[in-house]
Structure 1
């Protein structure tokens, strides 16, 4: 059972998400919070698998809270669910460790699927935000990038394409365990902590061919 916590200062949105999630047999809402202080207080007693959180909230933003959570509660996954399409919010959230970034106009089934995907250790980025990656400027490269093997670059391209570990394994004719090993090595070489960060880094630095 996937344990979910909802963090948003809008009661109507939390109630709506609670209703949607409660209809799923493999997940449940174990807590809610309206601001950062309430969230952090609740995390001292309950440990959700996934936190679904807005960016714009009283006291502390969702980006600030993501940074705190990822440093103190490393196993908790964070899904940002917001109305903000701005590049700076998107990039900041991912760089602070958010495992997913969806817009509030996303269909309910996409949000539910995103929770499942993130709970498995994978990432989700709203389609419109993925397109924005193509316009980002190239950054200074690190020496580690040149150490990626041909197979690791193939796996990295699959990550950029949004494929799951299972889909990557099928496409490259390797086992899921092997995929996980490659992903782990890619993270280490690029000095990133999540699939989303790896995707952004790869696109920014043109590490893989893009359409």
Structure 2
């Protein structure tokens, strides 16, 4: 069961999402919040797997809240918003969001995205991917001498959206070994999250 928290300052959106998501028997909507500060409090006292988080909200915006929420390693963030500004997208990903979707996304795709993120993948709407490509056109070549061949393979697999388990199966190594390689990559790049590794690899730099 995926334990989920909905965070949006629009009551209609919160309740609509709650009704839609509760129809799926793999998702449990634990609570809803009208601001990100309350969300941080809820996550500190409950086991939350996924936070579905809006961007523009009172007190703390969703992008800033993401940075705090991901400190709980078990909690993953999907930003669900009407805003596709480059700055929000870049900062959301940089702060550790595992997904970025627009509210125009069909309900069935939102549900599928929640399940994919819960399984360890990263999900971005097609509009968001295009924005990332447009805003990061100037590719800076990765210094391949900095990484081992295996580390480059791990980075490529992360950029494809594979989970640690899927990477382990693809490369015929253990999940623990995958985690060790990811830690090494983070140390070498001074990045904080696997999402940043994906963008770093795809575009040459974060």
TM-score when scaled to structure 1? 0.81
Match of 1:89 in 2: 88
Asked if 2 retains the 8 angstrom alpha-carbon contact of 1:4 and 1:50, the reply is yes
- Deviation, 1:154, is 2.5
Deviation at 1:140, TM superposition (A): 9.2
Shift of residue 193 of structure 1?
3.1
Shift in CA distance, 46/128, structure 1 to aligned 2, threshold 3 Å: same
Aligned to 2:126: 127
Kept in 2, the 8 Å contact 1:133–1:203? The answer is: no
Distance in 1, matches of 2:44 and 2:179, equals: 31
Counterpart CA distance in 2 for 1:159 and 1:43 is 26
TM-fit CA distance, 1:201: 1.5
Which residue number corresponds to residue 50 of structure 2?
A: 50
Change (3 A) 1:106 1:198: same
Query: Contact between 1:125 and 1:196, CA under 8 Å: does it hold in 2?
Result: no
Distance in 2 of aligned mates of 1:139 and 1:59: 37
Residue in structure 2 matched with residue 27 of structure 1 by the alignment: 27
How far 1:194 moved relative to its partner? 2.6
- Asked if the contact 1:50–1:76 (Cα under 8 Å) also holds between the matched residues in 2, the reply is yes
**Ranges in structure 1 where 5+ consecutive residues have no aligned partner:** none
Between the aligned partners of 1:123 and 1:176, the Cα distance in structure 2 is: 21
Q: In the alignment, what sits opposite 1:156? A: 155
Deviation above 6 Å: which 4+ runs of structure 1?
Answer: none
Please tell me the root mean square deviation across aligned C-alpha atoms, in Å.
2.7
Q: Partner of 2:70: helix, strand, or coil?
A: helix
Partner of 1:6: 6
